[in-house]
Amino acid sequence: MNPPVLRIQRLTRNQPELPLPAYATSGSSGMDLAADVTDDLVIPPGGRAMVPTGLAFAIPTDFEVQVRPRSGLAAKAGVTVLNAPGTIDADYRGEVRVILVNLGDAPCTIRRGDRIAQAVVAPVTRVTVVEADALDDTSRGAGGFGSTGQ
């Protein structure tokens, strides 16, 4: 069975050209996304920024791309993806941008080509929504956060 194909279009011609997203190892789940900025971008503590990648995706039908934080950026600088995981729908053709937030205590500088997030291609299951007058009982019932005792 052949894997699905993710078609990628470069939207900018900034130089030097950035590499396309790729799996770093044979066991990688995500592909690194790089910052397509021309000037350094400084995110102050508590600040956020919409960081361009310069790329648009043609995602196969019945798939999505999840934009996830990079653990190194989070651990070293306290910077993460604000809406993690962000979802890129299969029918979106605009530029992929990553919303970064600086939860650290020092400014974080994003430079051209910095790896800022990971892209994970995942299948999407669509369901049929049916309104119900009542739902079946479970042992948990309507218990919320912490209701399982863990």
CATH code of residue 79: 2.70.40.10
What is the rounded CA–CA span in Å between residue 112 and residue 21? 15
Domain that holds residue 15: 1-29+57-98+106-125
Average of pLDDT values for 24-34? 96
Whole-structure pTM value: 0.88
What is the rounded CA–CA span in Å between residue 6 and residue 63? 10
Residue 144 forms part of a structural domain? no
Cα maximum dimension of the chain? 60
Residue 83 forms part of a structural domain? yes
pLDDT at position 150 is 60
pLDDT digits (tens, 9 = 90+) for 103-130: 999 999 999 999 999 999 999 999 999 9
Number of domains in the chain: 1
pLDDT at position 65 is 98
What is the rounded CA–CA span in Å between residue 85 and residue 8? 20
Residue 52 forms part of a structural domain? no
What is the rounded CA–CA span in Å between residue 86 and residue 83? 5
Residue 145 forms part of a structural domain? no
Q: Which residues contact 16 (CB under 8 A, 6 or more apart)?
A: 113
Task: For the chain, report the end-to-end CA distance as a whole number of angstroms.
Answer: 41
